[in-house]
Amino acid sequence: MELQNESLSLQILKSAHDMIKITLPDNSVKEFAEPVDGLEIARSLSNRLAKEVLSVSVDGEVWDLTREITSDSEIKLHTWEDPEGRKAFWHSSAHLMAEAIECFYPGTKFGIGPAIEQGFYYDIDLPDGQQLTEKDLPKLENKMLELARQKNNIVRKEISKKDALELFSQKDDELKLELIGELEDGTISLYEQGNFIDLCRGPHLPNTGYIKAIKLTSLAGAYWRGNENNKMLTRVYGITFPKKKMLDEYLIMLEEAKKRDHRKIGKEMELFTFSEAVGQGLPLWLPKGARLRKQLEDFLTKVQEKYGYEQVITPHIGDVRLYKTSGHYEKYGKDSFRTITTPEEGEEYMLKPMNCPHHCEIYMSKPHSYKDLPVRMAEFGTVYRYEQSGELHGLTRARGFTQDDAHIFCRPDQLKDEFKKVIDIIFIIFKALDFNDYVTQISLRNPDDPDKYIGKVENWDKSEKAIIEACEEKGLKTITQRGEAAFYGPKLDFMIKDALGRSWQLGTIQVDYNLPERFNLEYTGADDNKHRPVMIHRAPFGSMERFVAVLIEHTAGKFPLWLAPEQVVVLPISEKYNEYAEKVSKVLNNSDIRTVVDDRNEKIGRKIRDNELNRIPYMLIVGEKEVANETVSVRPQGGGDKEVMKISSFAELLSNEIKDHLSFV
Ligand SMILES: [Zn+2]
Ligand SMILES: [Zn+2]
């Protein structure tokens, strides 16, 4: 009792003297008795926030909610809505899964278990050569739920390297021992929950009870540390949620996403393929895919012409020195494809990782006056960047891809207008492709860290103001992120939501003060002096490959009529009507409607089913009656009302539909 009183009075004494200032994201400051933690700060703000908060950033570092903050700090609380919140949630779930695995398989060795974009994984090695199978996953899920219900506290402990090595030697876990061996003494932390202890940097949830719904999704083989000379471990993937309903919704979305996978639909519709003989991550566009891509390119070219862009073409390789000047060698030289050398002259070339240096050289090919600016240079430029084979994913992550690239060289006073014009172009694209749900993010510099950025402060002030005003004047809803700008300039990003509610980053508009400096770009001003132009990089689609992938998954392959590689298929009821079908096709093709005939000797029902997989917007069925009346029976994609029309009326209908949809171009 005595002792307790003493410690209580000590605490009062302490709190009277040691108050710490906590600065919140809105710059308001709250004082707390030291020590305080994230959870307590959340509680002081609202009960609801205290329930929803998952982790806390303390001076830019993400911490556990229960870790003591002992000095004045800037903090930000993270909920499920923030990646930092989900990361703590999913990483804690990886520990929970490991705990469940250890219950069934004592002596399991654990590699790494990070949170990923959607969920988490853990690389494990079961004892005595045992292997997990899909059948084991439900029992692990149940065990995890049981452990979660115990609401075991997840406790952080900092220990010395010596103690860490001893602990994991006892566990005979050579994987962790290898990891600890590479850590510096004084930086090692452990996390413990229930009977499970793991080497970990954190951060974690306060306890396992936050985790309410669990799905272990798949198993895969993974070499320890990604090196094929090492042991093959088992990678167990999973995802968890704070509510059961969220898991149900996620599973439905996953089913739908599988059906819409662009790799599956791309195969069914014969849009693109890959060949091991050609090489990994190098897409081959099949005739229909090439036609689709050409439609997109022609469309964008037409829009860009209206906005004063000029098309240029540059080679797929460039002298290494060019990329040393641009700085791209530093980024891509070592960590990408190796250089190519010539046999006689010993010249060194690189596969082009970026189009910008080439465009700078075009800019420099003649002198410029302030009156010529802006110069807007566009190119569907193919670039090559190395991606690890495990990271490749259909068209969304490839090693060769074509950017719908353009560079605008302008005067500082033209920045705002140029931004507004690029925003217009992006709007036109979104409208033509029915992307209605998107957010825009403005990335600005961190004013507290001025040395990080290249270019004059007054230029930064001007360009940030130009972006903000351009967005306002265009009525864009924006999120502003301070400190997210690249070192060479602020930017604006467009993120679209697809039909399944997934976010994709598409167009970027990036201001650049760096390349004009590195290439010594100039124009002659009205004052007859030399000035530096500002450069804007912009790619509304991003890359043709990735954009087509997003479009396939968004539309499930049912492209808008104007874009469909084949717009109409004519299906003769029997061979007798093949000739008439050809005639119909000819009339439509002459009106620029992309039409094919399915003259296979198959029953009409079969033909309809097969062509449904091709997702052609219209099927025309022709038989005896149609031949007699010079008509077609129209069957729109996905069924709907059949209508009998004169060939010419149908051609007119489609031409008008296409024209209307693109009327704003
Ligand atoms: Zn951990
Ligand atoms: Zn560029």
Give the number of the ligand closest to the Cα of residue 197: 1
- Establish whether 537 is a catalytic residue: yes
Give the number of the ligand closest to the Cα of residue 509: 2
- Work out the percent of the chain whose per-residue pLDDT is above 70: 97
User: Does position 502 have pLDDT exceeding 90, yes or no?
Assistant: no
Question: What is the CA(537)–ligand 2 centre distance, in A?
Answer: 4
Give the number of the ligand closest to the Cα of residue 353: 2
**123-178: pLDDT as tens digits:** 999 999 899 999 999 999 999 999 999 999 999 999 999 999 998 898 888 888 89
- Sort strands 618-622 and 631-636 into parallel, antiparallel or unpaired: antiparallel
Catalytic residue, chosen from 399, 407, 531, 532, is 407
User: Does position 3 have pLDDT exceeding 50, yes or no?
Assistant: no
User: Does position 391 have pLDDT exceeding 60, yes or no?
Assistant: yes
Strand 534-539: give its sheet, edge to edge: 310-311, 375-384, 400-410, 534-539, 503-512, 491-497, 438-444, 478-482
- Which residues are CB-neighbours of 299 under 8 A, at least 6 positions away? 432, 562, 563, 662, 665
- Name the pTM for this structure: 0.78
**613-633: pLDDT as tens digits:** 889 999 999 999 999 999 999
Where is pLDDT greater, at 195 or 241? 241
Question: What is the CA(73)–ligand 1 centre distance, in A?
Answer: 24
The answer to whether 404 touches 380, Cβ cutoff 8 Å, is: yes
The answer to whether 378 touches 406, Cβ cutoff 8 Å, is: yes
Q: 3-state class of 87 per DSSP?
A: helix
Burial tier of 342 (Cβ tally within 10 Å: 0-12, 13-18, 19+)? exposed
**What integer is the mean pLDDT of 468-472?**
94
Question: What is the CA(75)–ligand 1 centre distance, in A?
Answer: 22
**What integer is the mean pLDDT of 572-587?**
95
Catalytic residue, chosen from 103, 200, 356, 410, is 356
Give me the pLDDT at residue 332, please: 87
Q: 3-state class of 39 per DSSP?
A: helix
Q: 3-state class of 197 per DSSP?
A: strand
Segment of 351-360, 431-440, 472-481, 498-507 carrying the highest mean pLDDT: 351-360
Question: What is the CA(396)–ligand 1 centre distance, in A?
Answer: 30
How remote is the C-alpha of 564 from its chain's centroid?
A: 25
Give me the pLDDT at residue 17, please: 54
Question: What is the CA(113)–ligand 1 centre distance, in A?
Answer: 7
- Establish whether 567 is a catalytic residue: no
Question: What is the CA(79)–ligand 1 centre distance, in A?
Answer: 18
**85-123: pLDDT as tens digits:** 999 999 999 999 999 999 999 999 999 999 998 899 999
Whether omega before 374 lies within 30 degrees of 0, making that bond cis, reads yes
Question: What is the CA(356)–ligand 2 centre distance, in A?
Answer: 4
Catalytic residue, chosen from 173, 404, 405, 493, is 405
Catalytic residue, chosen from 204, 385, 421, 635, is 385
- Establish whether 407 is a catalytic residue: yes
Question: What is the CA(65)–ligand 1 centre distance, in A?
Answer: 14
Query: ∠ CA(256), CA(259), CA(262), 5° rounding?
Result: 115
Give the number of the ligand closest to the Cα of residue 404: 2
- Establish whether 456 is a catalytic residue: no
Question: What is the CA(422)–ligand 2 centre distance, in A?
Answer: 14
Specify the range with the lowest mean pLDDT, choosing from 10-19, 193-202, 488-497, 592-601.
Answer: 10-19
Give the number of the ligand closest to the Cα of residue 192: 1
Give the number of the ligand closest to the Cα of residue 120: 1
Q: What is the DSSP letter of 335?
A: T
User: Does position 2 have pLDDT exceeding 70, yes or no?
Assistant: no
- Sort strands 340-341 and 503-512 into parallel, antiparallel or unpaired: unpaired
Give me the pLDDT at residue 379, please: 98
- Establish whether 403 is a catalytic residue: yes
Give me the pLDDT at residue 641, please: 67
Number of helices (H), then strands (E), in the chain: 21, 33
**411-465: pLDDT as tens digits:** 999 999 999 999 999 999 998 998 888 989 999 998 888 888 887 888 889 889 9
The answer to whether 494 touches 507, Cβ cutoff 8 Å, is: yes
**What integer is the mean pLDDT of 281-294?**
97
Question: What is the CA(17)–ligand 2 centre distance, in A?
Answer: 55
Question: What is the CA(257)–ligand 1 centre distance, in A?
Answer: 30
Question: What is the CA(66)–ligand 1 centre distance, in A?
Answer: 15
H or E element that contains 408? strand 400-410
Question: What is the CA(359)–ligand 2 centre distance, in A?
Answer: 8
Give me the pLDDT at residue 665, please: 66
Question: What is the CA(171)–ligand 1 centre distance, in A?
Answer: 17
Q: Is the dihedral of CA 99, 105, 110, 115 positive or negative?
A: negative
Catalytic residue, chosen from 109, 352, 376, 491, is 491
Catalytic residue, chosen from 136, 173, 358, 403, is 403
- Establish whether 385 is a catalytic residue: yes
User: Does position 495 have pLDDT exceeding 60, yes or no?
Assistant: yes
Catalytic residue, chosen from 86, 95, 537, 635, is 537
- Work out the percent of the chain whose per-residue pLDDT is above 90: 74
Q: If pLDDT is split at 50, 70 and 90, which confidence band does 7 have?
A: very low
Give me the pLDDT at residue 122, please: 96
Give the number of the ligand closest to the Cα of residue 156: 1
Give the number of the ligand closest to the Cα of residue 179: 1
Cα(596)–Cα(594) distance, integer angstroms: 7
- Establish whether 393 is a catalytic residue: no
